[in-house]
Amino acid sequence: MKRIAPLLLLLAGCATIPAAQAKPSPLPGCAEALVYSSAHNGVALLVLEDGKIRCRSADTSTPQELWSGTKSLVGLMAAAAVQDGLLTLDERAADTLTEWRDDPQRAAITIRQLLTMTGGQASTVGRPLGYLDSARAPLTAAPGAKFQYGPAPMQIIGEIMRRKLTVAGLDPNPRTYIEHRILTPIGVKIGSWRNGPDGAPLMPQGLVLAADEWARIGEFVRSGGTLNGTPLIDPATLVELFRGSDANPAYGLTWWLPRASAAGDPVTRSTDIVEHADKLPADLVVAAGAGDQRLYVIPSRRLTIVRQAKLDIAALAAGKASGWSDAHFLSFFLSPTSQ
């Protein structure tokens, strides 16, 4: 734990990512992408190539709800916690959640399984429970056996981090940790972050960021989790974030991946990067939220792409498909004429 303080001092002195240029030169496919996004309730679009703006909508500075796009930040938080010696991906969650130790199934759950949504927690929608209530909720599958996308695993990670930070003598608020370790050093300004019913920051949703700020997170991932050549998070763990599980190869540790998958849940089916995996860059990683909020990072193409939209709550509640296609949208920037 003694490594944490010197590292934080080092990060505090790092320069932030320079402000983006005011007048981007359009990337081929930009005009078509702007039209397509707008036709699907789009409110912001920002494309960076080599860190330089190549496509932008009129407003990329107004904070918008990321919804489940927040989850991918939890994976980055875990990579920072590994670097700080706070946890390992394959440790048992029960090592920290001592109340789980007498339950054979819960005692077997690992941090990795929580992050890959394979810990056995049920798939649910609606407002998440608080940290402790999420940890108490019954399991509906054996750990590692099934992919079940929902808010509970991220809320449980929030409680694990709260306890580990307390033991380390640090501020126990996971949001404070994320901001201090990652967001502030890379220059991200948060619009807001909603709390859950227990008053703690929502880990599966709740983060409100402008496209400009979400792009900074994308650039951080594209750079391999470094700032000015200095790793801010554990490099090996960052690689692990982009490995799918046996239960769902298309979902890593809080990030979506273009991989064929037999998972038949509605959330996996809601993105067609699974269906078109063979046509997309293998190193594409995606943070995704309700209403087709997207952060695409494609290191091989030197691209970071943010797309934000207005959430149609009525259509979502009715189960109506939005008509959004990730593969079609990305094709505007991945076609031969855009290279």
With residue 250 as reference, give the H or E element that holds it.
Answer: none
* Residue 121, number of CB atoms within 10 A of its CB: 27
pLDDT at residue 5, rounded to an integer: 42
Structure tokens at 168: 């380390």
pLDDT at residue 319, rounded to an integer: 65
pLDDT at residue 315, rounded to an integer: 66
Q: What CA–CA distance (Å, rounded) separates 306 from 44? A: 8
Helix-, strand-, coil-residue percentages of the chain, each rounded to 5:
40, 15, 45
Per-residue pLDDT of the chain (339 residues; tens, 9 = 90+): 444 443 443 334 333 344 444 565 789 999 999 999 999 999 999 999 999 999 999 999 999 999 999 999 999 999 999 999 999 999 999 999 999 999 999 999 999 999 999 999 999 877 899 999 999 999 999 999 999 999 999 999 999 999 999 999 999 999 999 999 999 999 999 999 999 999 999 999 999 999 999 999 999 999 999 999 999 999 999 999 999 999 999 999 999 999 999 998 999 999 999 999 999 999 999 999 999 999 999 999 999 999 999 987 766 665 667 799 999 999 999 975 444
Q: What CA–CA distance (Å, rounded) separates 206 from 196? A: 9
pLDDT at residue 223, rounded to an integer: 98
Alpha helix positions (H), the chain: 4-12, 30-39, 71-83, 104-108, 111-115, 131-136, 152-167, 174-178, 211-222, 235-241, 266-269, 313-317, 326-334
pLDDT at residue 23, rounded to an integer: 64
Rounded to the nearest 5°, which phi and psi values hold at 66?
A: -90, -15
5: three-class secondary structure by DSSP: helix
Q: What CA–CA distance (Å, rounded) separates 238 from 221? A: 8
